[in-house]
Amino acid sequence: MENNYMLSVKNLKKYFNTPTGVLHAVDDVSFDIPEGTTLGVVGESGCGKSTLGRTVLHLHKKTSGQIFFNGKDISEINKHEFHELRKEMQIIFQDPFSSIDPRMSVRQLIAEPLKIFKLCKSKEEIEKKVKETMDTVGLASRLADSYAHELDGGRRQRIGIGRAIILDPKFIVCDEPVSALDVSIQAQILNLMQDLQAERNLTYIFITHNLSVVKHISNDIMVMYLGCAVEKASSTELFKHQYHPYTKALISAIPRVNLDDKSVRIPIKGELVSPIDPKDQCRFAPRCEYACDKCFASAPTLEEVEPGHFVACHRVRELNNL
Amino acid sequence: MDENTLLKIDNLVVKYFLRKSTVEAVNGVSFEIKKGERVGLVGETGAGKTTTALSILDLVSNPPGRIVSGDIYLNGENLRQKSEKEMRKIRGNDIAMIFQDPMTSLNPVLTVGDQIMEVVRLHNDMTKFEAMDKAKEMLELVGIPGERYLEYPHQFSGGMKQRVVIAIALACNPKLLIADEPTSALDVTIQAQVLDLINELRNRLGMSLLLITHDLGVVAETCDKVMIMYAGHIVESGTVDKVYRNIMHPYTSGLFNAIPKLDEDTDRLQPIKGMMPDPSNLPEGCAFCDRCPNAVEACKTRKPELVQVEEDHMVACFNPIKKEA
Amino acid sequence: MAKNDAYKKKEGGNSQFKMVWIKLRENKFAMASLFILIAVCLVALFAPLIAPYDYTKQNYEEILMFPCLKHPFGTDQFGRDIMSRIIWGSRYTIVIGVLTMVVSGVIGTVLGILAAYYPKLDNPIMRFLDIFSSIPDMALLMCLVIILGTSMRNMIIALGLYYIPGYARLARSKVLTLRNEEYVEASIALGASDGRILMSHILPNSLAPIIVRFTMSTGGCILEAASLSYIGLGIQPPEPEWGLMISQGKGFLSTNWYYSIIPGLCIVLVSYCLNYLGDGLRDALDPRLNY
């Protein structure tokens, strides 16, 4: 069924109950990721991208929908079975300062997964694997006894990556892994992640709000807004042609380094709101300059407007002459 | 001093004296900001940009930090010779500063109106009602309905909080606004709104702007001049046009190459190898030497000074990048 | 190449524990307090060897003597050497103080951690402990001792019960914040069991405020124990507990002030040192680790 898709998600929903209402963090999202590729998930605060990543990994309990991992339906499996799967599905966090226990040394941090799954029989074996992993992620072996507060952001993030790959997973959710890093370190970490992907045929979900980064590292990109997927296409295609008004505004909002780039910024008025008890309408309609009555009457769904290019917008064809 | 010069920093040296080491945060920084000019100060973490900004207002935590030497002139007056009382008159009044995180810049138990009124009444002889009017006026100026002056910070979103912070900063019509990474914590569409707002207000009120950021794109869109900082030194400076079109310092070049570009397809990014040196253990010679593809013998032992290489463009390098003919 | 090559920052191996010790070492008052406390413990430990006289030996020819070479702290109305009684009495002080804190600290911390980590247990545990907090300290202690009977063991139980809610509340509040830390989420993502997370991540990171409370409460505990003995509900005569000695000497305050004052000063000294040490620890544990 899912031939060589590493991950297939169908109609995934994740709602949270809050005192003010039901928060539709992830609302009916579907996508497929072929093995060895990267799906970039882009959006701003409140779009649900982090929740999506965590729900796929069962860090949040999904509200409904199906998740297929390597062909197998993992939506309904119990905690014990999923425990084994954790070896194959891992996560790298955004903040290299808070995602690391300040009281553990580098060695202890990277060895933790091995201890949890009791994969090594002896201390020497653990030591060997830890050293190997530190080499792979570019951490000097003399740092094995260092603690988080002695290292900079780039090195801490390498610890996070080392911890995620030591179990040899097939799939990694990367939740804004470079957003907290300096530009030159970002580049180092992104290169490392690409190398690891090539060597180990890893599949990534790369969550970020930084469009330049996502363009560089993703094969396909999904743009989210307030819990819904509004546009989905291959990376090259999306940056050539954006069809959803939000995507257009998002790309135009990026400050341009190239002085000759005279593209005009498309302003979006208003603020991002929280998707609590949303009405059945396009979620972007209140801020969209092209919104019409239909947009406020029913929520649009993702349609394939061109081969491989999906957009959720009632007026997509007329606005883009398709 | 030129009449047009608002702020002049002369050979500023700031150090942090820690328990067992001394952090050389700012090592001989000099620059000028003219009236109405927008200057961007670019650098990565640890370059010394925030320390430089804090020094202008004498806000460096003492202990352990201290301005060791150097002079800071505002409209010809040396700020370093002023007493704390005189500096208080300047802060918020002649020079205002906004910080990165709007969540922590606002007092959660005071209304936004109160917080604007606080700064207004500190520097002006106003009655409470006059101050309240001014507060409403400032909120309108930054795009927030004036009636919201009775609301508390938690009732605003991140972008709006930053607008409130800007309103507080501009309430006394300062001559210089120092903005330390004002949009780094915001979403990109909100960032665009806030930057547009800062630009518009600057045009309207005619103040100078010192914008500290790590984002070269933000500088390109918001500033006239740019200064690149590395390990406490300014390594390249000039107008945005000259610097961006004719990058001469290897570090600046490294920064540009390290960012993924929207209009190009790169297979692998080119990071700058290595890391910034430990500011408590800076090498002799150029701080960038170990990481520099252009390093020559002289770089190891002598520190380069800022020299003019063309009009409106200065570089501190013994072997800068030459433009291809 | 670098200027300060001679001074090389030690890379690696400076765990937070070591950094705390380094910071503490620089606090002269805290270190002095630590030494005094260690000295008191040693005195208590080696009491039989150090005390010049048998603390029960009565000598009616030497009653109520002022401090002199033979009896540096003087004698009481039974001719017993006060210095020897002070030395032996230190045992009660140390044992009651430390044991109570250890017992209440361990039980309280465990309860607090469970209450915070498992929200279903939160209300039952905390409301139960509220019962003990709602009664004023001396009233609670007096009631418990009267019910259980006066003995050292019962004093420790009573004091322990009194201090447990404080530790529980402290641990609970720390764990509530820790529970949401990203590195806990990271461990869950790695497949760690609850037990592992509690033992390896939550507990080590919650110890800081608990350790500080430990040192500072011990001082309070010693005072409470002394108070109980003073009113007759604690250690009974002829045992040389410091609080009891103050009580016994109160009839002689105008003539033989040393009888009450010296044990009092000892209590003050130990409490002071514990507080200074606790203060020093709190500063050392402050997360401004760079300075």
pLDDT digits over B263-303, tens only?
777 778 888 888 888 888 888 888 898 888 888 888 888 88
Contact criterion met (CB < 8 Å) for C289 and A101: no
- Residue C49's pLDDT band (cuts 50, 70, 90): confident
Question: What pLDDT is attached to residue C289?
Answer: 47
Distance CA C50, CA B230 (A): 65
Question: What pLDDT is attached to residue B229?
Answer: 94
Range 154-193 of A in CB contact (< 8 A) with C: 160, 163
Taking a C-beta distance cutoff of 8 angstroms, is the pair A153, A181 a contact? yes
Contact criterion met (CB < 8 Å) for B280 and C290: no
Report how many domains make up chain C: 1
Q: What is the mean pLDDT of residues B125-153?
A: 89
Question: What pLDDT is attached to residue C9?
Answer: 41
C100 within some domain: yes
Q: Measure CB to CB from residue B284 to each of C3, C26, C290 and give the nearest one.
A: C3
For B289, nearest residue in chain C (alpha carbons): C1
Token pair 């912070």 in the structure block, residue? B165
C259 within some domain: yes
- Residue C169's pLDDT band (cuts 50, 70, 90): very high
Question: What pLDDT is attached to residue A198?
Answer: 93
User: Does residue B201 have a pLDDT over 90?
Assistant: no
Contact criterion met (CB < 8 Å) for A112 and C187: yes
Q: What is the mean pLDDT of residues C36-57?
A: 88
CA distance A317 to chain C (A): 42
> CB under 8 Å to B79, separation ≥6 — which residues?
B56, B58, B72, B73, B87, B90
Question: What pLDDT is attached to residue C72?
Answer: 86
Look up the domain containing C209 and give its range: 27-54+68-284
Percent with pLDDT over 70 in chain B:
99
Contact criterion met (CB < 8 Å) for C190 and A149: no
Q: Report the residue of B188, B239, B290 to disrupt the A interface, i.e. the one with the largest count of A CBs within 10 Å.
A: B188
For B86, B92, B93, B178, C30, the CA distances from B82, given in Å and listed in that order, are: 6, 16, 15, 20, 39
For C208, nearest residue in chain A (alpha carbons): A103
CA distance C28 to chain B (A): 15
pLDDT tens-place string over residues C54-89: 888 888 888 888 888 888 888 888 888 888 889 998
C186 within some domain: yes
Token pair 């990171």 in the structure block, residue? C205
Nearest CA to C268 out of C222, C212, C235 is that of: C222
- Residue C7's pLDDT band (cuts 50, 70, 90): very low
Taking a C-beta distance cutoff of 8 angstroms, is the pair B194, B144 a contact? no
Q: What does the buried/exposed string (b/e) look like for C239-266 if buried means 16 or more CB atoms within 10 Å of the residue's CB?
A: bbbbbbbbbbbeeeeeebebbbebbbeb
CB contact B291 to C (< 8 Å): no
For A310, B266, C16, the CA distances from A237, given in Å and listed in that order, are: 11, 15, 50
Work out the mean pLDDT of chain B and round it to a whole number: 88
Distance CA B35, CA A295 (A): 48
Q: What is the mean pLDDT of residues B54-83?
A: 89
Taking a C-beta distance cutoff of 8 angstroms, is the pair B53, B40 a contact? no
For B190, nearest residue in chain A (alpha carbons): A271
Question: What pLDDT is attached to residue A146?
Answer: 85
- Residue C10's pLDDT band (cuts 50, 70, 90): very low
For B267, nearest residue in chain A (alpha carbons): A216
Contact criterion met (CB < 8 Å) for C12 and A117: no
Q: Report the residue of A101, A133, A167, A168 to disrupt the C interface, i.e. the one with the largest count of C CBs within 10 Å.
A: A101
Q: Measure CB to CB from residue B281 to each of C4, C26, C290 and give the nearest one.
A: C4
CB contact A301 to B (< 8 Å): no
CA distance C214 to chain B (A): 28
Q: Report the residue of B16, B18, B275, B280 to disrupt the C interface, i.e. the one with the largest count of C CBs within 10 Å.
A: B280
C63 within some domain: no
Question: What pLDDT is attached to residue C4?
Answer: 37
Q: Which residues on chain B are in Cβ contact (under 8 Å) with A213?
A: 260
Contact criterion met (CB < 8 Å) for A142 and C15: no
CB contact B22 to C (< 8 Å): no
- Residue C2's pLDDT band (cuts 50, 70, 90): very low
C19 within some domain: no
Q: Which residues on chain A are in Cβ contact (under 8 Å) with B45?
A: 152-153, 182
Q: Which chains does B contact via 3+ CB–CB distances below 8 A?
A: A, C
Question: What pLDDT is attached to residue A311?
Answer: 94
Contact criterion met (CB < 8 Å) for C7 and B19: no
Q: What is the CATH number of the domain that holds C194?
A: 1.10.3720.10
Distance CA C235, CA C89 (A): 11
Distance CA B55, CA B47 (A): 14
Question: What pLDDT is attached to residue C5?
Answer: 35
User: Does residue B131 have a pLDDT over 50?
Assistant: yes
pLDDT tens-place string over residues C93-143: 888 888 899 999 999 999 999 999 898 999 999 999 998 888 888 888 888
Contacts of range B73-80, beta carbons closer than 8 Å, 24 or more positions apart: B73/B1, B73/B5, B73/B7, B73/B8, B73/B9, B73/B10, B74/B6, B74/B7, B74/B175, B74/B176, B75/B6, B75/B175, B76/B1
CA distance A113 to chain C (A): 6
Contact criterion met (CB < 8 Å) for A102 and C16: yes
For A105, nearest residue in chain C (alpha carbons): C15
| Domains of chain A, first to last | 5-79+175-183+207-320 (3.40.50.300)
From the number of C-beta atoms within 10 Å of its C-beta (0-12, 13-18, 19+), residue A111 rates as: buried
CA distance B281 to chain C (A): 6
Question: What pLDDT is attached to residue B324?
Answer: 64
User: Does residue C235 have a pLDDT over 90?
Assistant: no
For B216, B292, B317, C33, C277, the CA distances from B253, given in Å and listed in that order, are: 12, 10, 13, 57, 54
Cβ contacts from A onto B, under 8 A:
114
Locate B245 and state its tokens.
């079109």
Contact criterion met (CB < 8 Å) for A212 and B158: no
Distance CA C260, CA B125 (A): 64
Q: Which chains does A contact via 3+ CB–CB distances below 8 A?
A: B, C
For A178, nearest residue in chain B (alpha carbons): B259
For A101, nearest residue in chain C (alpha carbons): C183
Contact criterion met (CB < 8 Å) for B190 and A187: no
Percent with pLDDT over 70 in chain C:
92
Taking a C-beta distance cutoff of 8 angstroms, is the pair C205, C122 a contact? no
C20 within some domain: no
Distance CA C246, CA C259 (A): 7
CB contact A234 to B (< 8 Å): no
Distance CA C100, CA C92 (A): 11
pLDDT tens-place string over residues A51-65: 999 999 988 888 999
CB contact A53 to C (< 8 Å): no
Q: What is the mean pLDDT of residues C153-180?
A: 90
- Residues of chain A with pLDDT below 50 are 1-2
- Torsion (CA) C75, C80, C82, C84 in degrees, nearest 10: 140
Please report the ipTM that was assigned to this predicted complex: 0.81
Q: Report the residue of B154, B187, B235, B292 to disrupt the A interface, i.e. the one with the largest count of A CBs within 10 Å.
A: B187
CA distance B283 to chain C (A): 4
Question: What pLDDT is attached to residue B65?
Answer: 87
Q: Which residues on chain B are in Cβ contact (under 8 Å) with A287?
A: none
Distance CA B250, CA B294 (A): 7
Q: What does the buried/exposed string (b/e) look like for A150-187 if buried means 16 or more CB atoms within 10 Å of the residue's CB?
A: bbbbbbbbbbbbbbbbbbebbbbbbbbbbebbbbbbbb
pLDDT tens-place string over residues A15-72: 998 888 898 999 999 999 999 999 999 998 778 898 999 999 988 888 999 999 988 8
CB contact B85 to C (< 8 Å): no
Taking a C-beta distance cutoff of 8 angstroms, is the pair C263, C246 a contact? yes
Q: What is the mean pLDDT of residues B72-81?
A: 90
C183 within some domain: yes
> What pTM was estimated for this model as a whole?
0.81
C113 within some domain: yes
User: Does residue B234 have a pLDDT over 90?
Assistant: yes
For B65, nearest residue in chain C (alpha carbons): C291
Contact criterion met (CB < 8 Å) for B284 and C291: no
Contact criterion met (CB < 8 Å) for C290 and B18: yes
Contact criterion met (CB < 8 Å) for C196 and A163: no
